[in-house]
Amino acid sequence: MGCPDPVGHSASMSFYVDRILPRCTNLLLSGSEFTKIRSRVASGLTGDVMEVGFGSGLNVPHYPSDVDRVLAVDPAVLGRKLAAGRVSACPVPVEYVGLDGASLPLGSATIDHVLVTWTLCTIPEVNDALGEVHRVLRSGGKLHFVEHGLSPDLGVAKWQHRLTPLQRRVAGGCHLNRPIDRLIEGAGFAVTQLDTYQLGGPKPWSYMYEGVATKP
């Protein structure tokens, strides 16, 4: 999920981020509830799709048949190994094209849809990454997203702000307190579909933003 936050990892922390965390993420985000959400968010994808935060390929089984190819962006080498079986079984060709969502090696206005799932929380330069997504999308192209983020409940939000520094350390740069809809709109998108809801689990970690945003 996304790009680890460079917070000065020691060798042991780097081993954790590079080797342990991708396995934990693969396990934690593969449950039945997450599977249902992935299927909803991936529906409607067509043509050339870029997935930022490809990770272990948990979205691969949900690509619609109208997708021509997927360009995958992710920094985790172990994630690619964990994704290998899913990628090889996928009828849609998957090509790795970059490591960093904030600097994409793609031409402007070349992509039909972008998919991000539980990724924007971890990208250090999230505004730059959303700007790059906006750049590579064709006019009328769509960003399909589901992310956890800042709760409208002030009590929960207070805990999210308190816990985020620790969360970043133990979860690869993950922020609990990002206002996902405002970040997407700030990058020049029109959010045309948005559902927000509290998923099961501790509230600081489970307020969800699920929707579609369009590049005008």
- The CATH number of the domain holding residue 152 is 3.40.50.150
Is 3 a domain residue? no
Q: Is residue 77 within 8 Å of 61, Cβ to Cβ?
A: no
Residue 19: the pLDDT is 63
Per-residue burial over 32-59, b if 16 or more Cβ lie within 10 Å, else e, is eebeebbeebbeebeebbbbbbbbbbbb
Query: What would the two tokens of residue 41 be?
Result: 């968010």
Structure-model confidence comparison of residues 138 and 100, the more confident one: 138
Is 67 a domain residue? yes
Confidence of residue 14 (pLDDT cuts 50, 70, 90): confident
Q: Is 202 helix (H, G, I), strand (E, B) or coil?
A: coil
Angle of helix 77-89 relative to helix 21-28, nearest 10 degrees, comes to 40
For residue 9, the one-letter residue type is H
Is 40 a domain residue? yes
Is 39 a domain residue? yes
For residue 29, the one-letter residue type is L
Q: How far is CA 161 from the centre of its chain?
A: 20
Q: In whole angstroms, how far apart are CA 81 and each of 22, 104, 172? A: 10, 22, 18
Q: Looking at 67-81, 144-158, 195-209, which range is the least confident one?
A: 67-81
- pLDDT tens per residue across span 26-36: 777 878 899 99
Residue 8: the pLDDT is 41
In this prediction the pTM is: 0.89
Calculate what percentage of the chain has a pLDDT beyond 90: 75
- pLDDT tens per residue across span 43-75: 999 999 999 999 999 999 999 999 999 999 988
Pairing verdict, β 111-117 and 67-73: unpaired
Is 21 a domain residue? yes
Structural domain count of the chain: 1
